[in-house]
Amino acid sequence: MKKRIAIFSSGSGSNAQKLMERFKQHAEAEVAIILTNNPEAYVIQRADNFEIPTHIFDKHEFFETNDIVHLLKNLQIDLIVLAGFLWLIPDNILKEFPNQIINIHPSLLPKFGGKGMYGDHVHRAVLKADAIESGITIHFVNELFDEGEIIYQSRFKIEKNDTLETIKFKGQQLEHLHYPRIVEQLLQKMKLV
Backbone angles phi, psi at 111, to 5 degrees: -70, 140
Burial of 49 (0-12, 13-18, 19+ CB in 10 A): exposed
Active site residues: 105
Q: For the chain, how many residues are written?
A: 193
Type of residue numbered 114: G
Between CA 13 and CA 122 the distance in angstroms is 18
Using DSSP bridges, classify how beta strands 54-56 and 133-140 pair: parallel, antiparallel or unpaired.
unpaired
